[in-house]
A and B are shown apart, each in its own frame.
Chain A
């Protein structure tokens, strides 16, 4: 349902606007002189009431043809087609009303104006709908950003992560103070890099990689030789823009459900490159299918998918799955370099 119907005040304001438009249309019909004021008003009233509802229909079409992903030719042809159809109905209605009120042929000279007004009003409505959708999208993006920061905060206070880190530091303070200090600094680096992320809607891919690396540096102290990391990154993707914190959850999963399940540990492979304007990212790790915590609830993954789809539309693709004792998560999104 159109969002206008959900808010009584907004709907009333919208109808009020159409009363004004009806008056303007009546003036337009009256001024050439063929129609009297009362005739012009009697004609403009039902016409505008009808068009008030017709001009709400672009909402459905605008959602199907988002500005970001639909082609120009596709958009022009669909909306223009709809505008012509709507205007045909509106002119048809005008003629029916006119003949019913015995204005008959006196309306005919006004028909070109009616067509122009109909098409313009419809296209104006399309434009306004796109604006409203864009505003809604940026509101949603702000919400997403807040959610991202919350998630980042949660990652910091995740008992799995933070308490175990502090326990490692506790162990190191007497046995190896130098490493204890190093761990504190790495932890601080990671925490600092997650701060303020929520205020930004996009980060460059290299920043996302740095954050993941800071996280892995901390986990490296905990897991020691059990955790091996192999990062293979194509320089060309360094400045692709992505929503913040889309890589770190995948890395966290690889540690928690992969490395931590294996007695002798394993390697996390992080690959990314740009191919034909698309950023391709994969995170692969070994895991022990027989371990109790190798099971995943998929929450982190779902979250990343939702945020990628919101940003890039349905063209964003994220896939994850296990083959024997390797788990692989990968996503592909358009590489955009400016907002």
Chain B
């Protein structure tokens, strides 16, 4: 077989035997080259960023980052480098819904047969063939992965990629979020991290009891608020403990009042 037509795949699983099995099935099925094997989330983000594979086999529970966080951190795709197809491979069935919402091509439950595995590969090839005729559109993979969060279960940490480095920000250390076009600037401990995710999508991920959208462009951690001051006749500012001032819109003020009581 012509290796130029072969799909390039990255295998991400923390168990060696699980990786070995995928290897063996891929060899049986043919037509796919494994370009990297990763045993944890960090290694996966790095390998996927550098190698731009066509296909990722992704476990969910892993050291460092889980499978969904890995997806969130994959670099934005351009027409020249389309999004890789993702096949989730896990022992759990409860992630299936989230996986498909995150735009996964298939979801393999461990253990699985070779013909089931081949079907998954067929689906990948079908998707890649279609992608050639109709350019992908819609939300970014980050927003998709964010949307795949189970509802009513706020995130405990936010992952941000900075070049080849991955930052993990526990939400307790997040001071406020500032919208910057399609990006969100996350401010934590006097530092700022830029993430390609809309502020609206981020707002749905955060615990509404702890984080409030005080303005079209700002989400603030309630625990950081020192006081709220009038700014002009019709507007106010929030002063954070570290002195930072953030504008509060009228609807933002209503939301604050609802959470903190009338005396804000």
**A276, CB-defined interface residue at 8 Å:** no
B interface residues, tally (CB under 8 Å): 28
Chain A 161-193 residues near chain B, CB threshold 8 A: 163-164, 166-172, 174-175
Interface residues of A in 138-174 (CB under 8 A from B): 159-160, 163-164, 166-172, 174
A172 to B111, CA, bound (A): 12
B257 on the A face (CB < 8 A): no
Q: Nearest chain-A residue to B40 (Cβ)? A: A263
Question: Which residues on A sit within 8 Å (CB–CB) of B43?
Answer: 263
User: By the criterion CB–CB under 8 Å, are A292 and B20 in contact?
Assistant: no
CB distance A171 to B69 under 8 Å? no
Residues in B neighbouring A261, C-beta threshold 8 A: 63
Question: Of residues 1 to 44 in B, which have CB atoms within 8 Å of A's CB atoms?
Answer: 14-18, 20-21, 24, 39-41, 43
- Chain A 126-137 against B: per-residue CB contact (8 Å), 1 yes, 0 no? 000000000000
Cβ of B171 to closest chain A Cβ, rounded Å: 13
Are B93 and A293 neighbours in the complex by a CB distance under 8 Å?
no
Q: For residue A263, which residues in chain B have a CB less than 8 angstroms away from its CB?
A: 14, 39-40, 43, 63-64
What distance in Å separates the Cβ of B166 from its nearest Cβ neighbour in chain A? Answer: 10
Q: Is the interface of A mostly helix, strand, loop or mixed?
A: helix
Task: Tell me, rounded to whole Å, the shortest Cβ–Cβ distance linking B98 to chain A.
Answer: 14
Known contacts A163-B111, A295-B156; is-contact A170 B61 (Cβ 8 Å): no
Q: Which of B14, B62, B66, B91 contacts A167 (CB 8 A)?
A: B91
Contacts of B66 in A (CB 8 A): 292-293
CB of A159 within 8 A of CB of B156, answer: no
Interface size for chain A: under 10, 10 to 19, 20 to 34, or 35 or more residues? 20 to 34
> Are B24 and A163 in contact, with the CB atoms below 8 A?
no
- When C-beta atoms are compared, the residue in chain A nearest to B166 turns out to be A290
* Residue pair A222, B110 in contact (C-beta under 8 Å): no
How many angstroms from the CA of A261 to the CA of B62 in the assembled complex? 7
Q: Are B17 and A167 in contact (CB under 8 A)?
A: yes
Q: Which residue of B lies closest to A288 (CB)?
A: B63
Contacts of B21 in A (CB 8 A): 167, 170-171
Contact A168 B61 (CB under 8 A): no
Binary interface profile of A, 256-276, with partner B (CB < 8 Å = 1, else 0)? 000011110000000000000
Q: Does B92 contact A (CB under 8 A)?
A: yes
Q: Is the CB of A167 within 8 A of B111?
A: yes
**Contact string against B for A residues 269-291, beta-carbon threshold 8 Å, 1 for contact and 0 otherwise:** 00000000000000000001011
Please, which residue of chain A has its CB at the minimum distance from the CB of B110? A167
Q: In the assembly, what is the distance between CA of A292 and CA of B62, in Å?
A: 8
- A322: shortest Cβ distance to chain B, in Å? 15
Residue of B nearest to A158 (CB): B91
Contacts A175-B20, A292-B69 given; does A166 touch B111 at CB 8 Å: yes
Q: Are B63 and A163 in contact (CB under 8 A)?
A: no
Decide if B15 touches A163 in the complex (CB within 8 Å).
no
Contact A222 B15, CB 8 Å, known A159-B91, A292-B66: yes
- Across the two chains, which residue of chain B brings its CB closest to A295? B156
Closest-CB distance, B2 to chain A (whole angstroms): 27
Of the residues A163, A224, A290, A295, contact of B109 by C-beta under 8 Å: A163
Instruction: Determine whether B65 belongs to the interface, using a CB cutoff of 8 Å to chain A.
Output: yes
Q: Which residues of B contact A169 (CB under 8 A)?
A: 111
Taking the complex as formed, is A312 at the interface, i.e. its CB lies under 8 A from any CB of chain B? no
A291 nearest CB across to chain B (Å)? 5
| B91 pairs with A260, CB closer than 8 A | no
> Please, how many angstroms separate the alpha-carbon atoms of A166 and B91 in the complex?
10
* C-alpha spacing A167/B92, complex, angstroms: 12
The verdict on A18 contacting chain B, using a C-beta distance below 8 Å, is no
Q: Are B63 and A168 in contact (CB under 8 A)?
A: no
Which residues in B have some Cβ–Cβ distance to A below 8 Å?
14-18, 20-21, 24, 39-41, 43, 61-66, 69, 91-93, 109-111, 156-157, 168
Chain A to chain B contacts (Cβ below 8 Å), 22 pairs: A159-B92, A160-B91, A163-B91, A164-B91, A167-B17, A167-B21, A168-B15, A168-B17, A168-B18, A170-B21, A175-B20, A175-B24, A260-B61, A262-B63, A263-B40, A263-B43, A288-B64, A291-B64, A292-B41, A292-B66, A293-B61, A295-B156
The 9 closest A-B pairs by CB, nearest first: A163-B91, A171-B21, A167-B110, A171-B17, A170-B111, A167-B111, A292-B66, A168-B17, A263-B40
Chain A residues near B (Cβ < 8 Å): 159-160, 163-164, 166-172, 174-175, 221-224, 260-263, 288, 290-293, 295
| Known contacts A221-B17, A222-B15; 12 further A-B pairs (Cβ under 8 A) | A159-B91, A167-B17, A167-B21, A168-B15, A170-B21, A170-B110, A172-B17, A175-B24, A260-B14, A261-B63, A263-B40, A263-B43
